[in-house]
A = this chain, B = another copy of it.
Amino acid sequence: MSIVVQKYGGTSVADLERIRNVAGRVARQVRAGDRVCVVLSAMAGETNKLVGFVDGLDAAGFDPAEYDMVVASGEQVTVGLLAIALRAIGVPARSFTGWQAGVETDAAHGKARIVRIDPAPVTAALEAGEVAVVAGFQGLAPNQRIATLGRGGSDTSAVAMAAALGAERCDIFTDVDGVYTTDPRIVGRARKLDRVTYEEMLEMASLGAKVLQTRSVALAMAHKVRVQVLSSFTDEPGTLVVDEDEIVEQQIVSGITYSRDEARLTVLGVRDRPGVAAAVFGPLAAAGINVDMIVQSVSRDGVLANMTFTVARNDVARARAVLAEERPRIGFEEIVANADVSKISVVGVGMRSHAGIAHTMFQCLADKGINIQAISTSEIKVSVLIEEAYTELALRSLHTAYGLDAQSPAGGD
């Protein structure tokens, strides 16, 4: 008898009707012979309402432990209600808050990390034939106060619980039915992937395909927890996120993602000398601004150069201010910002053993007349920065170029 962890997000438990629907889904898993541990979010909108209360007291310096006390109440409601809904259809069940489920966190209230899970209370319930319904997103800090894991932390709770229980699989139910080769709203011939590796999922998550929280994928990879992403509104199988070993016929490219969350900054006329990169990026790092793609263009005269890089769009103003303040130390002529950019990335573990992936990308974009403003690469990813207006064209062209197109468009028969 194996253990399956199921996680349902806020939209899946948004009202009583949907909670009943979740209960039915859990019951089917139980009747299939599995021991089931369910991890829940708060009802959709509830956490926002609670955060709104905290913000409404406009206490800039509020104690994050108090914030946690308030917002952790949302999951307490859904776990109790699901346990009731399960018993109502004849499935023994028992709810757990984070602290009751043995979830221990560090002291970073509001964005805590899970340090340890003592699975004994949940295991005891499972062994007694009960479904364990555990509040996601929360645990107990060393000071014996309630801590939350930060927004989206329920995915992390579910994966951590699956690791602690030695679960066969962690099913993450959400409002999409899996991981696609690219955004199906843009590319009609996008295909749902049956399997994807942790590494690919990590790249995709961090590149803007918001299906799974990055932290939860990293945790799954560390503990080799098999994660399935699937819809709580259909009965289709989803996408399995697994170790590379489990994927026999590896696609060279698994997916193509895009992000419009970045902006390009160019520092014009910096002196072309050692230490200038440190002078530019040191102060940005100190201000907590993440810098992504970096291009340093060599100057024609060997004296002045330009430094181009990307930051999150909502960091642009702050980045400009930080650099303006550092101008005497850096020495530059001007800063130019451009938010009309899009980052397109090709992701696939198969790249490691296949040359020419980047070349295919560059050639494809060149064929469509799309100019590349910056390039960055990792072992399993190539990203380019292009003008935002070309986003859809680039995605569709690359999707075809890498042979990812489905036989028929998504949604067709």
Shortest distance from the beta carbon of A19 to any chain B beta carbon, whole Å: 7
A329 to B394, CA, bound (A): 90
Q: Are A50 and B67 in contact (CB under 8 A)?
A: no
A56 to B18, CA, bound (A): 12
Say yes or no: is A69 at the interface (Cβ < 8 Å to chain B): yes
> With A62-B84, A87-B61, A87-B62 known to touch, is A69 a contact of B53 (CB < 8 Å)?
no
Report B-chain residues with C-beta under 8 Å of the C-beta of A58.
88
State which of B59, B63, B72, B100 has its C-beta within 8 Å of the C-beta of A145.
Answer: B100
Q: Map CB proximity to B onto A44-74 as digits: 1 under 8 Å, 0 otherwise.
A: 0000001001101111011101111110111
Say yes or no: is A129 at the interface (Cβ < 8 Å to chain B): no
Q: Are B59 and A84 in contact (CB under 8 A)?
A: yes
Say yes or no: is A81 at the interface (Cβ < 8 Å to chain B): yes
Q: Are B70 and A80 in contact (CB under 8 A)?
A: yes
> With A84-B62, A84-B63, A88-B62 known to touch, is A20 a contact of B69 (CB < 8 Å)?
no
Number of copies: 2
A121 to B106, CA, bound (A): 20
Report B-chain residues with C-beta under 8 Å of the C-beta of A366.
none
A95 to B20, CA, bound (A): 33
State which of B70, B87, B97, B144 has its C-beta within 8 Å of the C-beta of A63.
Answer: B87
Say yes or no: is A277 at the interface (Cβ < 8 Å to chain B): no
Q: Are A63 and B83 in contact (CB under 8 A)?
A: yes
Q: Are A54 and B145 in contact (CB under 8 A)?
A: no
Report B-chain residues with C-beta under 8 Å of the C-beta of A59.
84-85, 87-88
Q: Are B66 and A70 in contact (CB under 8 A)?
A: no
Say yes or no: is A16 at the interface (Cβ < 8 Å to chain B): yes
Say yes or no: is A170 at the interface (Cβ < 8 Å to chain B): no
Say yes or no: is A77 at the interface (Cβ < 8 Å to chain B): yes
Q: Map CB proximity to B onto A135-147 as digits: 1 under 8 Å, 0 otherwise.
A: 0000000001110
Report B-chain residues with C-beta under 8 Å of the C-beta of A121.
144
Size category, A interface: 35 or more
Report B-chain residues with C-beta under 8 Å of the C-beta of A66.
80-81, 83-84, 87, 94-95
Shortest distance from the beta carbon of A40 to any chain B beta carbon, whole Å: 12
> With A66-B80, A95-B69, A145-B100 known to touch, is A88 a contact of B57 (CB < 8 Å)?
yes
Q: Are A77 and B100 in contact (CB under 8 A)?
A: no
Say yes or no: is A76 at the interface (Cβ < 8 Å to chain B): yes
Q: Are B100 and A144 in contact (CB under 8 A)?
A: yes
A16 to B57, CA, bound (A): 7
Say yes or no: is A284 at the interface (Cβ < 8 Å to chain B): no
Report B-chain residues with C-beta under 8 Å of the C-beta of A57.
16, 19-20, 81, 84-85, 88
> With A76-B69, A76-B76, A100-B144 known to touch, is A81 a contact of B63 (CB < 8 Å)?
no
Say yes or no: is A344 at the interface (Cβ < 8 Å to chain B): no
Say yes or no: is A79 at the interface (Cβ < 8 Å to chain B): yes
A7 to B204, CA, bound (A): 51
24 contacts between A and B (CB under 8 A): A16-B56, A19-B57, A53-B81, A54-B81, A57-B84, A57-B85, A57-B88, A59-B84, A59-B85, A62-B87, A63-B87, A66-B80, A66-B81, A66-B83, A66-B84, A66-B87, A66-B94, A67-B80, A69-B97, A70-B76, A70-B81, A73-B76, A100-B144, A100-B145
